[in-house]
Amino acid sequence: MAANRVTVVGSFNVDHVWTAAALPRPGETLAGRYHSGPGGKGFNQAVASARAGASTSFVCALGADSGGQLARALAVADGIDLRDQPSDAPTGTAGIFVGSDGANSIVIGPGANAAMTPSFVDAQRAAMAESAVVLVQLESPVASITRALQLAGEAGATRMLNPAPANVEVPTELLALADLLTPNETEFAALLRRHGGDEVDAASLAALNDELLHTHCRRLLPHGTVVVTLGAAGCFVSHAPQDLRGDGLQHYRVAGEAAQAIDTTGAGDAFNGALAAALARDAQRPFAQQVKFANRYAAMSTENAGAAAAMPRLADVIGRFGG
């Protein structure tokens, strides 16, 4: 295991983005603006990790098309070690609608992302062994994501699971492999419903009593750390009592950072990639400081349009907020 290295295993999509005054209602047609660019939760997080200062490998599956060529070119531009499984399927795509308030709705066409195999992930064992953090999401086959965390555990890396999108079933065995779980409100509510038997309202999660929220986190992941991202309200951190990650408290909130948001599409990915990079750069820093950095990084990402393209550079974050 090496310091300052992150491996991200996940998806690459070509994003097709329409921006309008409001999100369209069923049956409604709106006029808006269109642009296209790189995305996919995995790639967004890999770009965030690299731009936040960590040496980054990205394991994915790509088609033999212009989308795959785009991914390879962009990886080179950001210094990302791209490890892609070739696929006969087209490179993944996403249709994204963004309202004037920055809110978004997304439909994904998995394409090549669905073709990534556990055996291809297994062939990336060396990258896992050299990484301080291995970060995964759920836009790739669960069996492949599970294998990535198994390899990360064998290597002694921090195993970071971003359980997104919320509609994907997360097996109990996958949760058991995670050292660090990073759901947003919707994902957290879905996980609780499936694994804890608890019903919580995602929209009012930020208003829950801290002790109750901590109890929910411990029920969901008894052995590790849960960071629930709460949008503009910041996030809630819950540690297992046996590992506080350098913090003095078992649970606490970290306030959100002010931002002039124009597009929140990749904010969660920005947070995850930046947190992985912070952990890899200096694992000895208190976790609260690493989360604060990730919050700042995510806030700045919302001030730019797009997903991967919106990720800020480390120098820009330091220039705004200090080191």
> Which amino acids are annotated catalytic?
269
Residue 92, marked binder: no
Q: Which residues of 116-147 are buried (b: 16+ CB within 10 A; e: fewer)?
A: bbbebbeebeebbbbbbbbbbbbbbbbebbbb
* Residue 281 CB coordination number (10 Å): 21
Residue 43, marked binder: yes
Residue 272, marked binder: no
Q: Furthest-apart CA pair in the chain: how many Å?
A: 54
- Identify the H or E element spanning 56: strand 55-63
Residue 14, marked binder: yes
Residue 120, marked binder: no
Residue 231, marked binder: yes
Residue 113, marked binder: no
Residue 42, marked binder: yes
How far, in Å, CA of 143 to CA of 169, rounded? Answer: 12
Give one DSSP letter per residue of 90-132, joined into a string: PPEEEEEEE-TTS-EEEEEE-GGGGG--HHHHHTTHHHHHT-S
Residue 53, marked binder: no
Residue 184, marked binder: yes
Residue 263, marked binder: yes
How far, in Å, CA of 281 to CA of 295, rounded? Answer: 16
CB 29 within 8 A of CB 78: no
Residue 230, marked binder: yes
How far, in Å, CA of 201 to CA of 216, rounded? Answer: 13
Residue 269, marked binder: yes
User: Sheet holding 104-109: strands in order across?
Assistant: 33-39, 13-19, 92-98, 104-109
Residue 268, marked binder: yes
- C-alpha count within 13 angstroms, C-beta hemisphere, residue 268: 25
Residues of the binding site for substrate: 13-15, 40-44, 139, 269
* Annotated binding-site residue numbers: 13-15, 40-44, 139, 184, 229-234, 263, 265, 268-269, 295, 301, 304, 306
**Known binding-site positions for K(+):** 263, 265, 301, 304, 306
* Annotated binding residues for ATP: 184, 229-234, 268-269, 295
